[in-house]
Amino acid sequence: MTDYHAIDFFRDAGVVADPYPYFEHLRAQCPVQREPHHDVVMVTGYDEAVRVYNDHESFSSCTAVTGPFPGFPVPLEGDDVSDLIARHRDELPMSDQLPTLDPPTHTDHRALLMRLITPKRLKENEAAMWHLADGLLETYLEGGEGEFVSGFAGPFTLLVIADLLGVPEEDRAAFRAGLQRPQAPDPGIGSTGEDTMEHAPLEFLYGQFTTYIEERRSRPRSDVLTELAAATFPDGSQPDVADVVRVAVNLFAAGQETTVRLLGSALRVLAECPDLQRMLRGDRRRIPAFIEESLRTESPIKGDFRLSKRPVTVGGVELPAGTTVMLVNGAANRDPRQFDAPDVFDPERSNARRHLAFGRGIHSCPGAPLARAEARVAIERLLDRTTDIRISERAHGPADARRYTYVPTFILRGLTDLNLEFETTEGSDTAGGAPR
């Protein structure tokens, strides 16, 4: 029998491959349960997580991506720690990134981001996705087998966001070289290891976009980067170059990482289930529902953190000011009070879209429409250009004894690699841009 009390979720590598029994154990004790190793309150219930997501008055997002590590710079004492958070938040890792900001700064910076991903721009970007997918598949499908995460998902999501942000064609190869990770990635944020986190681990992107914005402000052109450089806050004031760069970098880095994990999880399910694959091949209108169930069962972000500013009660549990809370999306999405038979992958689940994979409240993922479009285009083009997709038994073992490796972090949930075999269609249509 597993001793769940002895498991250190944040450090034990053994829980990375399958965290769901641990989540179920916590929720069975109480949907709002303090774990004993790092004094983090784990919110595993759906309603309780939504309650916290929607209460930015009582909870700060300053530790959203770091949680208990490295800890707050000073002791959080008293019944209201709002002033302490305001004075010391810049000392925390990733403090300049959108997910860690609180209103009113968050309100201004999110508004700036939303000017980059307007419905018009997203529509233009989706039109480009079909061509980008086909260009990568031309190489990836050669030979009848390939590693999917680094061979297609990573390059595809990178090029899609580069197109969205208007990165010049001549610079995109440099972006791929600078950002594409090897097959065994450095886990970075939320590592289960003992390494500490750097304050700004995205130097490449900061350098590139700083150059772009400064150049476009001094010499405007008719391009997306000039629109980005000219964007203003809601009150009409012009942001500093650094503020614009942070928004672009956050979209680029966060959007790519999470969508890669979504694509990996979705293709694993597709390749493992021939009947499901046949169903989607026969009716592409079912793909969006399949994507939502993929997001529900394998949320690319295991959870987000919050820090209570003042005493607050969640799910009947009193939390003092200064409490670190983890909103465990991966557990809330399998809460049986919200989802019937939550551990079953049901592509026809009527309420799958209620999942918390994209969060809730003021920090709900602004790139959710982009991620959904990327996944739909990628899956549709893969189905267009293959007649069968299978898991490589040479790489992952037989069907009754699969071996998968997951990114070793307590934040991200996703495969490090996914080796597929496939049969391609004869004379595949590579024109792109023509969804069924």
Closest CA to 323 of 30, 78, 100: 78
Element (DSSP H or E) covering residue 121: helix 119-140
Give the Cα separation of 308 and 78 in Å (integer).
Answer: 12
Per-residue pLDDT, 38:
96
Put simply, whether the predicted model's pTM sits higher than 0.85 gets the answer yes
d(CA 282, CA 171): 39
Q: How far is CA 328 from the centre of its chain?
A: 14
Q: What is the pLDDT of residues 276-290, one digit of tens each?
A: 999 999 999 999 999
Model confidence pLDDT, tens digit, residues 316-365: 999 999 999 999 999 999 999 999 999 999 999 999 999 999 999 999 99
Q: Which residues contact 124 (CB under 8 A, 6 or more apart)?
A: none
Sign of torsion, CA 276 278 282 284? positive
Q: What are phi and psi of 312, to 5 degrees?
A: -150, 150
For residue 207, the model assigns a pLDDT of: 92
> Radius of gyration over alpha carbons of the chain, in Å?
22
The half-sphere exposure of 216 on its side-chain side, counting CA atoms within 13 A, is 23
Phi, then psi, of 265 in degrees rounded to 5:
-65, -45
Task: Report pLDDT for 427.
Answer: 56
- Nearest Cα to Cα of residue 39 among 76, 79, 67, 81: 67
Profile the chain (436 residues) by mean pLDDT over runs of 10 residues.
92 94 97 97 98 98 94 95 97 92 95 88 93 96 96 95 92 83 50 49 85 95 90 93 92 88 98 97 97 98 97 98 98 98 97 97 95 97 97 97 96 97 75 46
93 Cβ neighbours under 8 A, 6+ residues apart? 65, 66, 70, 197, 198, 199
Burial (CB < 10 A; 0-12, 13-18, 19+), residue 87, is: exposed
Q: What pLDDT does residue 179 have?
A: 78
**Could you report the per-residue pLDDT of 193-226, keeping only the tens digit for each?**
554 444 344 788 999 999 999 999 999 998 889 9
Looking at residue 298, its amino acid is: E
What is the model's pLDDT at position 189? 59
Torsion of CA 308, 314, 317, 320, to 10 degrees: 20
Do the strands 324-327 and 41-43 form a parallel or antiparallel pair, or are they unpaired?
parallel
Residues of the chain by 3-state class (helix, strand, coil), percent to 5: 50, 10, 40
Record the tokens describing residue 70, joined without a space: 């490295």
| Cα atoms in the 13 Å half-sphere on the side-chain side of 228 | 29
In which residue are the tokens 């080796």 written?
419
Written in H, E and C, the secondary structure of 180-210 is CCCCCCCCCCCECCCCCCCCCCCHHHHHHHH
